[in-house]
Amino acid sequence: MKSLFFSVCMLALTGMQAQVTITLGNGTSSGTSSPVASWYNSSANESIYTGTEIGSTGTITNISYQKSSGSSTIEPSIKVYMKLTETAASGTAAYTIGSLNFSNYTLVYDGNLPNSSTSGAMEIALQTPFAFSDLSRNLSVLVIGATCIESGRPQYRFTTTPSRMSAGFTDGIIGCGGTTSWTPDSRMSPVWERPNLILTVTPLLSIGEKTIDKNDVQVLIKNGQLQAFSKKAAISEMTVFDISGRKLAAMKNDTATALLDLSLAKQILIVQIKTADNTIINKKIAF
pLDDT of residue 280: 77
**Domain segments of the chain as ranges:** 9-16+211-286, 20-202
Question: Considering the domain 20-202, what is its CATH architecture?
Answer: Sandwich (2.60)
Beta bridge partners of 170: 43
Beta bridge partners of 271: 240, 283
Q: Which among 249, 262, 122 is positioned nearest to 195, based on CA atoms?
A: 122
Distance of alpha carbon 138 from alpha carbon 83, whole angstroms? 8
- State the 10-residue block means of pLDDT for the chain, 287 residues long: 28 50 96 95 97 92 97 97 94 95 94 96 94 91 96 96 94 93 97 96 54 60 77 83 78 77 76 80 75
pLDDT of residue 8: 28
Q: Which CATH number fits domain 9-16+211-286: 2.20.25.10, 1.10.760.10, 2.30.40.10, 2.60.40.3080?
A: 2.60.40.3080
Burial 172-201 (b: 16+ CB within 10 A, else e): eeeeeebeeebebebebebbebbbbbbbbb
Burial 50-67 (b: 16+ CB within 10 A, else e): bbebbeebbbbbbbbbbb
Beta bridge partners of 69: 155
pLDDT of residue 170: 97
pLDDT of residue 29: 96
122 touches 65 (CB < 8 A): yes
57 touches 204 (CB < 8 A): yes
